[in-house]
Structure 1
Amino acid sequence: MRLVIRQDDLKEIIKMTERSAVEVCGFLFGRREGNDFIVEEIRFIPNRLNSPTAFEMEPLEMVKAIDRAEERGLEVAGIFHSHPKCPPRPSDRDLKGMRLWPVVWLIVTSKGEVRAWILEEGKVEAVEVEDEVDSVRGI
């Protein structure tokens, strides 16, 4: 499995993570093609917990973002968030969220480490992250 994301989008997530003392979070909008999750757009959503060790996206902002994405024919391909003080592995809290949102979870550290995971058939599996230069897709 692969998560394909624009290099500029990945850099933006990393930059926001490096600047924030609390967990940064949001959606990866796009589509799934076989075993590939293709990200067309990222959307930061405020973390209502304002915590360095946990996140909860603001519900109203989540709904607005999903509605806008669906208007453009996009779906939730993944969720991203940061681990400012921990390795980029799913926490117990993340695992609960992964059961509710069965998409790719991209985790970024404040040191710029990036890993992606998916929960399938009760097992957490690593997902390859492929960052693309925009011109590769003709964007």
Structure 2
Amino acid sequence: MMNANRLTEIKVSPSLYTEWLERFGGFPAEEACGFVYGKIRKQTAYVSSFAWVANVSEHPTRSFRMSPSDIMIHLGGGTTGNDRRAEASEDPVLLGLFHSHPRTPALPSHEDVSAFRLWPELPSFWIVSLERSVPQTAVYAWEEPLESGSGASPGPSESSVSANKAVTTVDTGQIRIVSPSVKEWRTDRIEPVEATTPFDQSDKTTSLSRLRVGPGRPPRSVAARAWDSRLLRKIPLYIEAP
């Protein structure tokens, strides 16, 4: 199946984004997960809500799993009472899937990529890292339209999907990154660099009205450890008033 929604940027209001990030504070040691909803105009996505889904994994500190029943409910638009949705939003579409990494950076693990491949038409995949005092968000998408069963095999992993589409992914990476202490990074490119090279400070954006967030370029050792960087790209995430 081909992904027709190739996004070039994503926008979310400061209040909605802040509320969403604050809720991760309730999961300091466990992976939280859910779906992202909103509108797509041309190639820009406008987030209107985040739907939280219970993590039913047997090992929630290092993996997340969504039950088939929760998946079916939220694929219909996330109409549960816990959703936060903009008043002007009507018939929101599914923009993406999110989950957190309590102890590691916002980089897709080998198992994350395996899980992402179960959703070939999903426009975006969000990862929130809680390893620093300020959460780091990164949004990913397939670099090229993905066909079911195509692309490089991610290899053995603990990720699995049952016949009824239950999703499981495990974050097993142990990563150490030497980098400046910053709060915001661009999210629009992935370029592996040497493991001893710190993040490029020229990538940092400090505009208060138009803010790009997420970690910078991953060291080569990190990219090689967990995922095929050629298959994924980063999507710029803007935190700005509508």
TM-score (normalised: structure 1)? 0.83
Q: How many pairs were matched up?
A: 133
Q: CA–CA distance in 2 between the matches of 1:44 and 1:69?
A: 9
Q: 2:107 aligns with which of 78, 89, 92?
A: 89
Instruction: Decide which structure has greater strand share.
Output: 1
Question: Residue 118 of structure 2 aligns to which amino acid in structure 1?
Answer: L
Gap runs ≥5 in structure 2? 1-7, 80-89, 145-150, 152-230
User: RMSD of the TM alignment (CA)?
Assistant: 1.9
In structure 1, the partner of 2:129 is: 109
| SS in structure 2 at match of 1:64 | helix
Contact kept? 1:29, 1:78, Cα under 8 Å: yes
| SS in structure 1 at match of 2:48 | strand
TM-score (normalised: structure 2)? 0.50
Q: Counterparts of 1:6-17 in structure 2 under 5 Å?
A: 6-17=13-24
Question: Residue 35 of structure 1 aligns to which amino acid in structure 2?
Answer: Q
Residues 22-77 of structure 1, C-alpha deviations (whole Å, 9 max, x = no match): 1111000123323222211110000111512221122212222222448x522210
Q: CA–CA distance in 1 between the matches of 2:21 and 2:116?
A: 21
Pair 126,68 (structure 1): closer, same or farther in 2 beyond 3 Å: closer
Q: CA–CA distance in 1 between the matches of 2:16 and 2:44?
A: 17
Q: Counterparts of 1:41-80 in structure 2 under 5 Å?
A: 41-49=49-57, 50-69=59-78, 72-80=90-98
| SS in structure 1 at match of 2:104 | coil
Instruction: Decide which structure has greater helix share.
Output: 1
Q: CA–CA distance in 2 between the matches of 1:3 and 1:100?
A: 22
Q: CA–CA distance in 1 between the matches of 2:17 and 2:61?
A: 20
Q: Counterparts of 1:8-47 in structure 2 under 5 Å?
A: 8-20=15-27, 21-47=29-55
Pair 53,9 (structure 1): closer, same or farther in 2 beyond 3 Å: farther
Larger Rg: 2
Q: CA–CA distance in 2 between the matches of 1:88 and 1:30?
A: 22
Q: CA–CA distance in 1 between the matches of 2:13 and 2:117?
A: 26
Q: CA–CA distance in 2 between the matches of 1:13 and 1:53?
A: 21
Question: Residue 41 of structure 2 aligns to which amino acid in structure 1?
Answer: E
Contact kept? 1:3, 1:128, Cα under 8 Å: yes
Q: CA–CA distance in 2 between the matches of 1:8 and 1:66?
A: 25
Question: Residue 36 of structure 2 aligns to which amino acid in structure 1?
Answer: L
Question: Residue 94 of structure 1 aligns to which amino acid in structure 2?
Answer: D
Percent of paired sites with the same residue: 23
Gap runs ≥5 in structure 1? none
Alpha-carbon distance, 1:16 to partner:
2.2
Q: CA–CA distance in 2 between the matches of 1:74 and 1:38?
A: 10
The structure whose RCO (Cα within 8 Å, separation 6+) is larger is: 1
Write out the 4+ residue segments of structure 1 that deviate beyond 6 Å after TM superposition. Answer: none
Matching of residue 3 in structure 1 with residue 10 in structure 2: yes
In structure 1, the partner of 2:237 is: 129
Pair 69,51 (structure 1): closer, same or farther in 2 beyond 3 Å: closer
